[in-house]
Amino acid sequence: MKIIPVVPRGYCQGVVRAIRIARETAEQYKGMPVCMLGMIVHNKYVVRECESLGIRFVEDSHKTRLELLDMIDEGVVIFTAHGVSDAVREKAQKKGLIAIDATCPDVLKTHDLIKEHCRKGDVIYIGKKGHPEADGALGLSDRVWLVTNESDVAALPDTLEHILITNQTTLGILDTEKTLQACLKRWPDALPAPEICAATRIRQTAVMNLKDTDVLIVVGDPHSNNTNQLKQIGLSSGIKRVYMAETCMDLKEEMIKDADTVAVTAGSSTPTILTSQVISFLESYAQTGEFNPPQIPDHVF
């Protein structure tokens, strides 16, 4: 059995930066309440590690970032890599909170583009309903229109003008292109501004370029959008067996037993140590045939 660690995989620069900011903030404001507005990234091991630093996570999937702020009355609030609207920043300031911004620079770039364009026209934003990054973008202006698929495009009003089409940074390349084309079919003069970030794009392209792969293991949290996209891209590329595993404890021998080639990739929020452990374990299984997954480590960074 051949094990192929897909390159690149795992942490992107935006996640590395957010984790560094969280650690530095916990250290700098020791003794004060430090809250994270939402999940720092969609990975429970990263969240647990941050909690061990004294950071409290304020999260409710039914509430927006603006509503979540009502649950924080004092101390420090950290905005996650997914970004927030200006209304969230203003509300935090009015509440007297110390705001620390861990928004990824790639997300900020998309926000700047949207804000600039909304002065003169409408923005169609391709994104996932309820995802914090999409919520942040929608909160920038009432001229931002969220679409997730081709049928959402058909449902948009006829009144849109001077249209810019952009998107959430962590979407799948193939699905986004389909929705973009549906927009352009309806509004041929609209201006496309593709904003899938480089980290997402090159990780998905690396999976699309895999050849003769029997099994693809995607290491990451099932709630992570970019991790799910890697799974979808693997299936769309013709790999018959694609599995998600948060850690090597989720692997089962029947997933890989009769495979000649097993590739491993990881979402950009997956701790490197967990992915490395999966790769080492599979390499050991390929050599010895013994299926004994190791215990996961106590700390992931």
Encoded tokens for 291: 């299926």
Q: State which residue has the least CB distance to ligand SF4.
A: 14
Q: How far is the CB of 103 from ligand SF4 (least distance, A)?
A: 9
For the chain, strand residue ranges (E) read 2-5, 34-37, 55-58, 76-79, 98-101, 123-126, 144-147, 164-167, 191-192, 215-219, 241-245, 261-266
140, with CB counted inside 10 A (0-12, 13-18, 19+), is buried
Instruction: Output the smallest distance, CB 228 to ligand SF4, in A.
Output: 13
Bridge partners of 263?
4, 216
Q: Among 106, 104, 110, which Cα is nearest to 17's?
A: 104
C-alpha dihedral over 132, 209, 272, 200, to 10 degrees?
Answer: -20
Instruction: Take residue 13 and report the two structure tokens written for it.
Output: 């620069």
> Which residues are at the interface with ligand SF4 (CB under 6 A)?
12-15, 81, 104, 106-107, 169-170, 197, 199-200, 226, 268
CB 263 within 8 A of CB 210: yes
**Angle value at C-alpha 222, between 218 and 227, nearest 5 degrees:** 45
The nearer residue to ligand SF4, 34 or 81, going by C-beta atoms, is: 81
Shortest spacing between CB 226 and ligand SF4, in angstroms: 5
CA–CA distance, 37 with 68 (Å, rounded to integer): 7
Of the pair 85, 213, the CB lying nearest ligand SF4 is at 85
The catalytic position among 133, 161, 177, 246 is 133
Tokens of 122: 């409408």
| Closer to ligand SF4 by Cβ: residue 16 or 259 | 16
Strands 2-5 and 55-58: unpaired
- Residue 53 carries which side chain, given as an amino acid letter? L
To ligand SF4, the closest distance from the beta carbon of 125 in angstroms equals: 14
Sign for the CA dihedral angle at 118, 18, 200, 105 comes to positive
Active site residue 150: no
Which residue's CB is nearer to ligand SF4, number 3 or number 107?
A: 107
Least distance to ligand SF4 from the beta carbon of 16, Å?
A: 9
Cβ closer to ligand SF4: 13 or 284?
13
Q: What tokens appear for 234 in the block?
A: 């693997």
In whole angstroms, the minimum distance from the beta carbon of 241 to ligand SF4 comes to: 26
Looking at residue 247, the DSSP 8-state letter turns out to be: S
Triad 154, 158, 163: Cα angle to 5°? 90
Pick the closer one to ligand SF4 by CB: 81 or 262: 81
Q: Cite the active site residues.
A: 133
